Every structure is written in C-alpha cells, then in structure tokens.
C-alpha cells in the first residue's frame, strides 16, 4: 500500500527526578549528601532509510513516546537514561511541525523541520528532558546538608506531518489513459497496473531506465491529472507534489481518435495545471519552469489523415517544445524519446551544478 502523507504525535521522555540522600555509615560522622542526579529522557529522531518507499508504517500507529529517565539514587548513583527512538522513513520525506490554528476557521500552520533527501540523513524532532540534580550537587560551605533536589524537565512534544515526495529524474504527466503506465512498463522494469479505463493508476510508480554506456535515470509515472488538479481535483495536488523534485517533465498526449479529446487542448490543460501549482523544489523552481518534452502516444492506432498529430506538432513548434511520436504498446519511437530525456536531464544537471558552483 502506497501512503505518502501521515500525521503523527511524538513525545520525548521526561527527565528523572534528582535524589535526596545522605551518607549514613558507622564511624563516619557527618557523611554528607550523596543523592544522585536523575537520568535524561529519551529523544526521538527521524531517519531516511533507502529500503523504504512508503509511509504505511505510520498509517495506524500515530503516537510515539520515548522512555523517561530513571530517578537518581543514593550513593551518588545517577538514574538510567531513557533510550532514544528512531523512526525510519523513505528517502524524500519532508517533516513538518503542525501548529494549531490561532482562531476558528483558520487553517493550521505547517513549519518545515527537515527535508530528508539522502540516505542516512537524521533529524531530532523531540528532545528528551534533562534529569534533575540530586542534593549532592547543591552542597556548599554554607549549606552542607541540602535537603532538596531538582525535578526532571519534561520532554518535548510535537504534532508532525510526514510528506513523501518521490525522488525521480523524469516525471510522466498527462490525462488518465494517455498511456503513461504502459510507457513506464516498456522503458523500465516497473510493473504498474494497466487497464482500459480512467484512473487505473492510483499511486505513483517509479522505474529505472537503462541506456547504453551505463547511463541510467529514474522515471516517475504520476497518476492521471485532470483540469483543476492544482486545486486538488482528482487528488491532483498530492500527485503534483511528487513532481517537484524531478528535473524533466514528459507530457504524454493521446493522439488516437479513440480518446475523443483534442490533443492540443489536452496539452494546454495539463500545462496550465503545472503553471498554477504553487509548489517549488529546493532551488525555488516551479513545475512550469522545468524542461518539457512531449510524447505523442498511440500513433499505432492513428487514422490515415494524421491531422491530430500534425495539429499538435504545429502547436508545439510555436512554443519551441520538442515532440516525439511514439507507441508505448508497440515500442515504436521509444529510443529517440529516451535519448531526448537523457539530453534534457544531462543539461539540467549541468545547469544545477553551475548554479551551485556560483
């Protein structure tokens, strides 16, 4: 089951209480205070694990509490420290703190804590409370027998939202039944569900494309978008967020007469949804600013006139957007399309490295 967003509550452990104790031994007058400090409470961390690809582990368990520190003891024995908890999430998970709304009717505020984009990245989301000092800590020349100790401090508590954004180089976008799932199954080892009805794909799929000379890149097949996707229609807002980290977008347009739609209009609607989507990647780039390639799919069932393909080609020429006629079902035209993806991706990577160098 693919789960890309969950809300959880984390509570770090409280610190243990300091101890009030005095040394009492035969033949040892004025033994003095020997109460130990309380142990520190356990903290909670979130770590990126490359072996995970979904947040399903947190769908049913929402509360995570770290152990508290043990109380201090006599003979200057410090209480045991509470153990830390590490919550593992997929690489690409963004961690937000949820701030309750200030008033009725106002939305909650989300504050980003971390963006875990590399395997092994780790962030502390709730710090354990410090243990209280025992009375031995407060002995002085003027107070040789202190009869007080400190209570442990409470651990931090937070409401968090975990949001998974897929890490892919190329994103496939288009209307439902445009052939995106068939395409990714042809060019990679991904095995998405494929059927002849809308919204067959309900969750994003990832596939690794291998080319000659040991070249490879990751492609994401995003479920079909519809008009109003940027506002959440058809779960479009959630699906579009998976494209934020991609470097190249491939519009898959159905040019067959069987679709009953106008290919030019389909491309225009999807382009508008990308333009209206407010999300940005780490560099501030919008979806509409990413390099675009158009794959005119299902050319194997085009009629003899090919007017639909020519109309799309003329429209894209005016926008200086490359078009590649393909058939995901038969494999026709896929080799030039994959090479075009690689060229655009290599160019985007060079541009990103140049910007970081500056």
Domains of the chain by residue range: 5-164, 170-357
- pLDDT > 90 in the chain, percent: 49
Q: How confident is the model at residue 104 (pLDDT cuts 50, 70, 90)?
A: confident
- Architecture of domain 5-164 in this structure: Distorted Sandwich (2.70)
Q: Report pLDDT for 117.
A: 87
- Span 218-252, pLDDT tens digits: 898 887 675 654 455 444 456 677 788 888 999 99
Q: What is the mean pLDDT of residues 353-358?
A: 62
Rounded Cα distance between 175 and 198, Å, is 9
Classify residue 176 as left (phi > 0), alpha (psi -120 to 50) or beta. beta
Sign (positive or negative) of CA dihedral 334, 335, 336, 339: positive
Q: Report pLDDT for 223.
A: 75
Classify residue 298 as left (phi > 0), alpha (psi -120 to 50) or beta. left
Given the structure tokens 């999300």, which residue do they identify?
279
- Span 21-44, pLDDT tens digits: 998 877 777 778 999 999 999 999
State both tokens at 341: 């993806």
Q: Report pLDDT for 236.
A: 46
pLDDT of residue 170 exceeding 70: yes
- Topology of the domain covering 170-357: Rossmann fold (3.40.50)
Mean pLDDT taken over the chain: 86
The answer to whether residues 35 and 135 touch, using CB atoms and an 8 Å cutoff, is yes
Q: How confident is the model at residue 197 (pLDDT cuts 50, 70, 90)?
A: very low
Q: How many alpha carbons lie under 13 Å from residue 17 in its C-beta half-sphere?
A: 6
Q: Report pLDDT for 73.
A: 95
């Amino acid at each position: 089951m693919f789960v890309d967003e969950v809300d959880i509550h984390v509570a770090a452990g409280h610190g243990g209480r300091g101890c009030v104790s005095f040394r009492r031994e035969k033949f040892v007058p004025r033994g003095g205070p020997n109460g130990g400090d309380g142990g520190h409470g356990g903290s909670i961390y979130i770590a990126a694990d490359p072996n995970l690809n979904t947040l399903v582990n947190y769908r049913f368990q929402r509360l995570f509490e770290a152990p508290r520190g043990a109380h201090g003891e006599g003979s200057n024995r410090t209480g045991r420290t509470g153990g830390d908890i590490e919550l593992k999430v997929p690489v690409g998970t963004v961690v937000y703190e949820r701030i309750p709304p200030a008033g009725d009717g106002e939305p909650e505020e989300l504050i980003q804590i971390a963006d875990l984009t590399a395997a092994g990245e780790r962030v502390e989301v709730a710090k354990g409370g410090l243990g209280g000092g025992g009375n031995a800590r407060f002995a002085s020349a003027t107070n040789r027998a202190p009869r007080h100790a400190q209570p442990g401090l409470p651990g931090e508590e937070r409401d968090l939202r975990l949001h998974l954004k897929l890490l892919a180089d190329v994103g496939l976008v288009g209307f439902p039944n445009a052939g995106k799932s068939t395409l990714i199954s042809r060019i990679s080892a991904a095995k998405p569900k494929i059927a002849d009805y809308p919204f067959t794909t309900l969750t994003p799929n990832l596939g690794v494309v291998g080319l000659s000379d040991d070249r490879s890149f990751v492609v994401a097949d995003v479920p079909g978008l519809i008009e109003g996707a940027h506002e959440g229609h058809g779960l479009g807002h959630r699906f579009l967020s998976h494209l934020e980290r991609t470097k190249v977008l491939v519009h898959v347009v159905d040019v067959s007469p069987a679709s009953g739609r106008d290919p030019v209009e389909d491309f225009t609607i999807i382009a508008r949804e990308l333009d209206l989507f407010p999300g940005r990647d780490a560099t501030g780039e919008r979806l509409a600013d990413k390099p675009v390639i158009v794959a005119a799919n299902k050319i194997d069932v085009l009629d003899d006139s090919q007017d639909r393909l020519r109309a799309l080609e003329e429209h894209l020429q005016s926008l200086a957007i490359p078009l590649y006629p393909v058939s995901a079902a038969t494999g026709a035209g896929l080799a030039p399309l994959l090479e075009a993806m690689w060229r655009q991706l290599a160019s985007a990577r060079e541009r990103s490295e140049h910007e970081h160098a500056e």
